[in-house]
A and B are shown apart, each in its own frame.
Chain A
Amino acid sequence: AQTVTQSQPEMSVQEAETVTLSCTYDTSESDYYLFWYKQPPSRQMILVIRQEAYKQQNATENRFSVNFQKAAKSFSLKISDSQLGDAAMYFCAYSPTGNQFYFGTGTSLTVIP
């Protein structure tokens, strides 16, 4: 069974600083996808960044980057230069095919002005 674990229920960061959100997952597959989604109070899930397991290079999207450690089954999200609009729930997700997603329990990020 595939599981996704986010061990930090809540995190806070000072505006303009950097924060790292942790995620580990369990799978026996060799090819899969990993994602970070942001869910603001509006409930709409927004894709932040994705990583294909076959790619060794860590994905980067502007201020967002990941540290993908395949052997350790770890997939952390780094947010640089944090902004007030980054405050939200962040969910890590795993997908073996790109269709069925398995989500973690989320990390609530607070950005302190």
Chain B
Amino acid sequence: GAGVSQTPSNKVTEKGKYVELRCDPISGHTALYWYRQSLGQGPEFLIYFQGTGAADDSGLPNDRFFAVRPEGSVSTLKIQRTERGDSAVYLCASSSTGTSGGAGYNEQFFGPGTRLTVL
């Protein structure tokens, strides 16, 4: 595809349920990022993958949140026992490679996000 795609575009679930959000990065991009954007706020970093491994998961708020990228392409963000406070837009981005400080920067291309509503 031409850009980063995310499915579903909208997801409504009930408190306590399990949800999976999918991100398809730009083909060939080795780095993938997840962000959460709550209403009226800027995006908040959750996790960053370099290839199949999570290079930085310091932004995951608690152990209910988990993300995988088993083949180094598509990634799934998984949220267990959803809470109303998890309601937000979940954004995914990819770049051609991650950046090691001082080694240059590769632009992150964002998808349109998944709007998650927990009732």
Contact = CB atoms under 8 A, between A and B. Distances in A.
Interface stretch (A41-49, A61-69, A77-85): A41-49
Give the secondary structure class of A's interface.
loop
Nearest to A42: B112
Contacts of A47: 107-108
B55 A104 contact: no
B89 to A, nearest CB: 6
A67 B112 CA distance: 29
B100 A97 contact: yes
Interface residues of A, number: 24
A1 B58 CA distance: 13
A101 B77 CA distance: 18
Nearest to A102: B45
Interface in A17-71: 31, 33, 42-47, 50, 52
A-B pairs, top 5 by smallest CB distance, nearest first, are A103-B42, A98-B99, A45-B110, A98-B105, A97-B101
